[in-house]
Chain A
């Protein structure tokens, strides 16, 4: 049973560039959430996708956008990269309607913006 997978594992970009990160959820899951974890901080919620629509959004600017495909996989896009976007980006999957909303995390993509 494959867990949550993310690609790429590491990425280096320069300010102003755009980046796309990818996530495949755990088998049987239909919901994907994205989180940003800066060094020394806990993960911060970016947004959640269900049925190919953005269901909830955290306090992140419109430069952060996403997409969910019919096979439940998801992408996170960040435009006009800033130095402060350097972080570990985590994808988490879950099954809608689960009583306690348990989410399973992928290994993350470490983004460095120079």
Chain B
């Protein structure tokens, strides 16, 4: 079983739409959780950390459910610039484990 599993998408949404997707992780002892964004052929960049209480950063909302080992990301009012691959990331003992990514395309 993979350490982190994500819905691969792709999600193709119009500008202004809301899109949500999630991932699950297998190691219940995982310590930290993140969403990274990766543009085509570029390096991953941290989008936001994810906390048990849930957190927002502008149009982005992340949720963590430790009991279900489930992480979600919601993007409101999608912009063309949100088109990217979103990587779900779990940290164990300073090692990052990545999902395969969810591809989001926002169309005009």
Report A66 CB to chain B, min CB distance, Å. Answer: 14
> What total of A-B pairs shows CB separation below 8 Å?
58
- Contact-residue bracket for chain B: 20 to 34
- Chain B's closest residue to A4 (CB) is B43
Are B95 and A90 interface neighbours, CB within 8 A? no
Report A50 CB to chain B, min CB distance, Å. Answer: 8
Question: Which residues of chain B are within 8 angstroms of A45 by Cβ–Cβ distance?
Answer: 95-97
Report A48 CB to chain B, min CB distance, Å. Answer: 6
Docked Cα-Cα span, A96 to B95, in Å, equals 12
Total interface residues in chain A, CB < 8 Å:
28
Q: Does any Cβ of B come within 8 Å of A94's Cβ?
A: yes
Docked Cα-Cα span, A92 to B95, in Å, equals 11
Residue-wise, chain B 9-29 has the 8 Å CB interface mask toward A (1 for contact) of 000000000000000000000
Question: Which residues of chain B are within 8 angstroms of A31 by Cβ–Cβ distance?
Answer: 94
The 5 A-B residue pairs whose C-beta atoms are closest, nearest first, are A42-B98, A105-B43, A100-B32, A101-B91, A42-B100
